[in-house]
Amino acid sequence: MPLIGGENKMANYVKKCPECGSINLIFKDERGEIICKDCGLVIEEKMIDFGHEWREFDSDQAAKRRRTGAPLTSTKFDQGLGTSIGSGSDIFKLSGKSKQRFSRLQKWQHRISTAIERNLKLALAELKRVSSYLKLPNSVVEDASTIYRNAVQRGLVRGRSMESVVAGALYAACRRHEIPRTLDELADASGIDKKEIGRTYRFITRELGIRILPSNPIDYIPRFSSALKLSAETQSKAVEILEMAQAAELTSGRGPTGIAAASLYVAALMNNEKRTQREVADVAGVTEVTIRNRYKELLKELGLEEEVKKKIKLEVEE
DNA sequence: AAGACGAAAGTGGTTGA
DNA sequence: TCAACAACTTTCGTCTT
């Protein structure tokens, strides 16, 4: 396998040997290792060169030398690998009998595409629709497709609607990527009942053995904060408060959105960017009452009472 | 009039027998 | 499978600004 070549690439890769501090490093091309000349420590091994191993000067050479196609993706039902018969323009180069033969083959290919494939096509279309509605990044969509594919292969879709499984897979993927959406948002985007999504979500994660950490309230802060048009300072203040709350074990057992909303509310208060409880509650998808309860706890447990009161006094004086 | 606060009753989900 | 339970919601009345 070709490896990183030349001293120049090595130079900005490793500067010093972590063991003896020597800068006398040598690069062994044949083994793909970087070795310290002084103490013999192998600093880096099995390096892979992601560059070309050949050069191409025109499209003709490129066609001859390249042996890979488009990258694999789970967002296409056949992972982008499928071959369709005779759909290219070169079918016109054939004549008479051959042309007929190819169109017959085409027809058969269409017929034999199995139920699973057709189901996957539909499901992935739905998945793309929902995720673009929620403006989810590609990596999440990719992950959700994989989850869905696995679910189908394990026969977990039986007895459930395709849409609910798609929504469940998406929810799981979001959680895994630490960019959580609430069940409400997902329900809104997919048109599936919130309870149903939760049920299938729990089911497929259990059956597929997907381990998901309980969602962290901090992950919600950026989104809520921008929805409320709060400053970056307030946002980081909210994260600070949240971290303190977590240290004080105020967060366990509580709904993450409620806690996130409350700390955002407090942070806004302290930074003179007051939002009403109603506003915060709306973007977080909880009620004012929940915010109030969390907010009270935060003030009490974290000793922020004086700080907030001072702020409010200052505001009055101004 | 609007927002904040608190009490009381209701709801959906989890847990343990 | 059922009851107990905690978290959260809904509703409503009161107080403050």
Domains, in order of start, for chain A: 1-69 (2.20.25.10), 115-208 (1.10.472.10), 217-317 (1.10.472.10)
- Strand B–CB A310 distance below 7 A: no
- Strand B–CB A195 distance below 7 A: yes
Tens of pLDDT, residues A282-307:
888 888 888 888 888 888 777 666 66
Tens of pLDDT, residues A121-180:
888 899 899 888 888 888 888 888 888 888 887 877 777 888 888 998 888 888 888 787
- Strand B–CB A171 distance below 7 A: no
Q: Where are the beta strands (DSSP E) in chain A?
A: 25-28, 33-36, 42-44
Q: Tell me, in Å, how far CA of A276 is from C1' of B8?
A: 24
Return the bridge partners of A33, or none: A28
Q: Is residue A246 a contact partner of residue A260, using CB atoms and an 8 Å limit?
A: no
**Amino acid identity, position A72:** L
- Strand C–CB A317 distance below 7 A: no
Q: Is the whole model's pTM more than 0.75, yes or no?
A: no
- Strand C–CB A217 distance below 7 A: no
Angle between helices A288-302 and A232-247 (to 10 degrees): 70
Q: Tell me, in Å, how far CA of A159 is from C1' of C17?
A: 56
Q: Which of A77-91, A202-216, A303-317 has the highest mean pLDDT?
A: A202-216
HEC string of A124-184 equals HHHHHHHHHHCCCCHHHHHHHHHHHHHHHHCCCCCCCCHHHHHHHHHHHHHHHCCCCCCHH
Q: Does position A93 have pLDDT exceeding 80, yes or no?
A: no
CB-contacted nucleotides of strand C (7 Å): 6-11
For residue A267, what are the contacts with CB-CB under 8 A and spacing of at least 6? A230, A234, A235, A237, A238, A240, A241
For residue A188, what are the contacts with CB-CB under 8 A and spacing of at least 6? none
Q: Tell me, in Å, how far CA of A286 is from C1' of C10?
A: 12
Q: What are phi and psi of A28, to 5 degrees?
A: -100, 100
- Strand B–CB A154 distance below 7 A: no
Tens of pLDDT, residues A168-216:
888 888 888 878 788 888 888 888 888 888 888 888 888 887 777 777 8
Nucleotide closest to residue A289 (CA–C1'): C9
CB-contacted nucleotides of strand B (7 Å): 2-8, 12-14
